[in-house]
Amino acid sequence: MRALLCQATGTPPRLAVAEIATPVPDDNQVLVRIRAASINFADTLMLAGRYYVRPEPPFIAGSEFAGVIEAVGKNITGWKPGDHVIGAPPAGGCFAEYIAIGADHLLPVPTGMSWSEAAGFIIAYGTAYYALHDRGRLQSSDTLAITGAGGGVGLAAIDIAVRIGVKVIAAAGSADKLEIAAAHGATAWIDYNREDLRGRLLDLTGGRGYEVLLDNVGGEIFATSLRAAGRGARLLLVGFAGGSIPEISAGYILMKNLSVLGVGFGGEYAAHASVRQAVYGGLLKLHQELPLHPEIDREFPLAEGVAALDYLGARKAKGKIVIVP
């Protein structure tokens, strides 16, 4: 099979498409023909050697896929060849034509989704759901501010929040990203490369500040957003796509009764089948009520996998980027 191999981690990593042996599933695995694999920020960290999962090169990166089961191990029940599945293996391996994966890490493709949509579903929408439902306890009376609102998790959070009647303020770094955020249901928007982020957040909340912040960016964007928090606000830290990890004043947290909550969905998803099933079940319920369709920015063939990763690294993506083996 063909795979995008990381031969050495770093910035940039050394990557090449290579012919390698197709994996053989063991008794507790299934073999999946991958039809699409989406790129996530965690993939870039793994390839740089800065993720908490650090496989030894050479390895296949890629943390999320959609595909068709081709073979099952002798201990597998509940799955059969021909089933359409999605998965997010803890150690990667999705930027390839095939993957052997434990059956407990598989979920059915939601009804009505394309391969690319399905491949971009469980990490972005799972992260957003886990952040808003499990960590943030989002209520319909809340105002939710989202930084990095034009990315995969940001758009997923908008989709989830508007379904429960929440007012969403989308903040992103360009007009085209905000246009997509508005199309997904954001009720207000801020271009933080051109506008006063703190001032606009306060204006849009009548001066009281937001109740919940979902931050994908970190750095100065988070620091500025923090200063527009309402009393008792919940701050959900999802990622640091801006490249720097901010420091938070304990005194400010105390003074405003803030709750600062980490959203480490990947580790919870990998370690606990109960989390996988609860999050997927919650998303499926939303999908059945009003279909969810992940925003797909671009599809790249496997041979152009390096270009796909560069596109994400340049922060050009509006929604998800997908590699099609």
Distance (Å, rounded) from C-alpha 261 to C-alpha 131? 9
Tokens standing for 18?
């290579």
The model carries a pTM of 0.95
Give the residue with greater pLDDT, 247 vs 143.
Answer: 143
Query: Tell me: the pLDDT tens digits for 97-117?
Result: 999 999 999 999 999 999 999
What pLDDT band is residue 320 in, cutting at 50, 70 and 90? very high
Query: Tell me: the pLDDT tens digits for 61-76?
Result: 999 999 999 999 999 9
CA of 218: how far to CAs of 55, 148, 200, 262, in Å?
Answer: 26, 9, 18, 12
Q: What is the pLDDT of residue 71?
A: 98
| Average pLDDT in the chain | 95
Q: What is the pLDDT of residue 315?
A: 76
Collapsed DSSP state (helix, strand, coil) of residue 236: strand
Tokens standing for 169?
């303020």
Reply yes or no on whether the pLDDT at 316 is more than 90: no
Lowest mean pLDDT among 123-132, 252-261, 269-278: 269-278
What pLDDT band is residue 259 in, cutting at 50, 70 and 90? very high
C-beta neighbour count of 76 within 10 angstroms? 18
Indicate the burial class of 259 (C-beta count within 10 angstroms; 0-12, 13-18, 19 or more): middle
Lowest mean pLDDT among 42-56, 163-177, 199-213: 42-56
Instruction: Evaluate whether 2-121+296-324 and 123-266 have a shared fold.
Output: no
Reply yes or no on whether the pLDDT at 91 is more than 90: no
Q: What is the DSSP string of 253-294?
A: HHHTT-EEEE--HHHHHHH-HHHHHHHHHHHHHHHHHS---P
276, 267, 264: which is closest to 238 by C-alpha?
Answer: 264
As separate numbers, helices (DSSP H) first and strands (DSSP E) second, the chain gives 11, 16
Q: What is the pLDDT of residue 198?
A: 98
Distance (Å, rounded) from C-alpha 93 to C-alpha 3? 9
CA of 138: how far to CAs of 166, 203, 219, 228, in Å?
Answer: 8, 21, 24, 18
Using alpha carbons only, give the angle 34, 35, 36 rounded to the nearest 5 degrees: 95
CATH number of 2-121+296-324: 3.90.180.10
For the chain, the domains span 2-121+296-324, 123-266
Q: What is the pLDDT of residue 298?
A: 95
Lowest mean pLDDT among 234-238, 268-272, 312-316: 312-316
> Are the beta carbons of 166 and 142 closer than 8 angstroms?
yes
Give the residue with greater pLDDT, 132 vs 249.
Answer: 132
262, 288, 294, 280: which is closest to 155 by C-alpha?
Answer: 294
Q: What is the mean pLDDT of residues 141-162?
A: 97
CA of 57: how far to CAs of 13, 237, 280, 310, in Å?
Answer: 10, 30, 32, 20
Reply yes or no on whether the pLDDT at 263 is more than 90: yes
Reply yes or no on whether the pLDDT at 51 is more than 90: no
CATH topology of domain 123-266: Rossmann fold (3.40.50)
Please give the DSSP secondary-structure letter assigned to residue 136: S
Q: What is the pLDDT of residue 314?
A: 82
Give 172's contacts (C-beta < 8 A, 6+ positions apart).
147, 148, 149, 150, 154, 178, 181, 189, 190, 191, 192
Q: What is the pLDDT of residue 210?
A: 98
Query: Tell me: the pLDDT tens digits for 156-169?
Result: 999 999 999 999 99
